């Protein structure tokens, strides 16, 4: 009888989308996780030129060799052995994530996922027949997971742990010592590390600390040009690993998911990498000044505490308003014309938080924060009266 798979039925739409559906057109937009920039002009021109030159065909599954070589080279400072066979081009980080789980997860396997999480992680594990098991990234630890908490969750079914630094939604990063402890944990239990580093170019102050190049070869990275070159709508990313066996299996999965990535676009990305390599730094500097404004504004509000994020472009403040779920609080924000995401969209432990993406100009951030302050003051005052 015609019906739907248990897998499709088990997966719910994300709580982020729901807010979009409820928002009016004039709401101040803290909802979207995408840079408010355009890709470098030379990349757009190269894209157009490549199409005119007939680059409109299937490519090999792994992608354009020159681009893969270039990507591998950008990681040579920490992993000098990488070459083009260490990279598989995909049609986004989202596509890359699915390829990786398809390659390493068997039905019944467990995968450790950070919570709060990027909302695709648990459903992607489920789609591949596995069970997502979340581990806590607590506010009091600046959202960095503690190995003690991980030890309690691992068992003979656990095959992988996913790390995401800089993090969506928390903006957390790790230092080298924390990274090494997290790698040792995976090594001790013979787990794959799936490392989502799509925000590696948006790190403030210190250098990005990668899970690559730290002496463990069971590491598979997903990455993307969505955030690096503001190409969210282009849908292009990659999987990279020093582990040749992993790359063989992932590339095979990529073939069956989308056959290959986009032909002309790969020339455009190569052009951006070759001739607009400073572009991500310019964007990062702009995000950094916005980050300073939004975290200062939030921390100056009664009942709000907010870690100053060290990477990505999100703040994830804790907001003390009695009796409201984070979704109800986000709806109160909407009534004042502010679109943000409820913390619960990123897992249960996101309750009590909201996520604001600072992907709008500073004047809009200031205007939005005036409204946020008004809502919180109103709700807290009515709180005190009851
Ligand atoms: C943590 C994280 N990983 C992966 C992605 C997927 O990015 P894309 O599919 O645009 O490459 C996103 C997008 O927001 C993200 O925040």
| For the CA of 97, the nearest atom of ligand 1 | 4
Is the model's pLDDT at 385 over the cut of 60?
no
Q: Measured in angstroms, how far is the CA atom of residue 92 from the centroid of ligand 1?
A: 8
Higher pLDDT, 176 or 6: 176
Return the H-helix or E-strand segment holding 131: strand 131-136
CATH class of 6-38+279-385: alpha beta
> pLDDT tens for residues 290-318?
999 999 999 999 999 999 999 999 999 99
Average pLDDT of the residues in 254-275: 97
**How much is the pTM?**
0.97
CB 236 within 8 Å of CB 89: yes
pLDDT computed for residue 151 by the predictor: 97
pLDDT computed for residue 20 by the predictor: 77
- The CATH topology of domain 41-275 is 3.40.640
In the chain, domain spans: 6-38+279-385, 41-275
CB 321 within 8 Å of CB 307: no
pLDDT computed for residue 386 by the predictor: 58
Report the percent of the chain where pLDDT is more than 90.
Answer: 91
Separation between Cα atoms, residue 150 and residue 112, nearest integer Å: 8
Report the nearest-CA residue for atom 7 of ligand 1.
Answer: 93
Which of 41-45, 89-93, 156-160, 322-326 shows the lowest mean pLDDT across its residues?
322-326
| For the CA of 118, the nearest atom of ligand 1 | 1
Ligand 1 shell residues, CB under 6 Å? 33, 92-94, 118, 164, 168, 196, 198, 224, 226, 232, 237
pLDDT computed for residue 322 by the predictor: 87
Two tokens at 347? 């897992």
Is the model's pLDDT at 351 over the cut of 80?
yes
Report the percent of the chain where pLDDT is more than 70.
Answer: 99
> pLDDT tens for residues 179-194?
999 999 999 999 999 9
């Amino acid at each position: 009888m015609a019906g739907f798979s248990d897998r499709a039925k088990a997966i719910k739409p994300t709580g982020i989308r729901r807010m979009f559906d409820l928002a009016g057109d004039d709401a101040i937009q803290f909802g979207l996780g995408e840079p408010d920039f355009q890709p470098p002009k030379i990349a757009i021109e190269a894209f157009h030129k490549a199409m005119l030159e007939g680059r409109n065909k299937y490519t090999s599954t792994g992608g354009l060799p020159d681009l893969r070589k270039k990507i591998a080279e950008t990681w040579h400072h920490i992993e000098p052995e990488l070459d083009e066979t260490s990279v598989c081009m995909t049609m986004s980080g989202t596509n890359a994530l699915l390829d990786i789980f398809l390659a390493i997860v068997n039905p019944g396997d467990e995968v450790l996922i950070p919570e709060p999480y990027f909302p695709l992680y648990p459903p992607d594990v489920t789609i591949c027949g596995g069970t997502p098991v979340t581990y806590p990234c607590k506010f009091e630890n600046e959202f960095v997971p503690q190995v003690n908490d991980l030890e309690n969750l691992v068992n003979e079914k656990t095959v992988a742990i996913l790390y995401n630094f800089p993090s969506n939604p928390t903006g957390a990063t790790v230092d080298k010592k924390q990274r090494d402890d997290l790698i040792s944990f995976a090594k001790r239990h013979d787990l794959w590390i799936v490392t989502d580093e799509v925000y590696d170019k948006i790190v403030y102050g210190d250098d990005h600390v990668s899970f690559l190049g730290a002496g463990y070869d069971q590491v598979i990275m997903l990455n993307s040009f969505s955030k690096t070159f503001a190409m969210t709508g282009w849908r292009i990313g990659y999987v990279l690993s020093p582990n040749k066996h992993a790359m063989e299996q992932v590339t095979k999965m990529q073939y069956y998911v989308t056959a290959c990535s986009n032909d002309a676009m790969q020339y455009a990305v190569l052009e951006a990498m070759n001739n607009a390599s400073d572009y991500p730094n310019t964007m990062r500097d702009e995000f950094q000044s916005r980050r300073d404004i939004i975290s200062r504004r939030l921390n100056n509000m009664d009942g709000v505490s907010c870690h100053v994020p060290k990477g990505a472009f999100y703040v994830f403040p804790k907001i003390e308003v009695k009796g409201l779920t984070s979704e109800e609080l986000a709806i109160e924000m909407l009534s004042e014309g502010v679109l943000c995401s409820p913390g619960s969209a990123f897992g249960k432990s996101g309750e009590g938080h909201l996520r604001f993406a600072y992907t709008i100009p500073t004047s809009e951030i200031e205007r939005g924060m005036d409204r946020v302050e008004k809502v919180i003051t109103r709700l807290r005052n009515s709180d005190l009266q009851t």
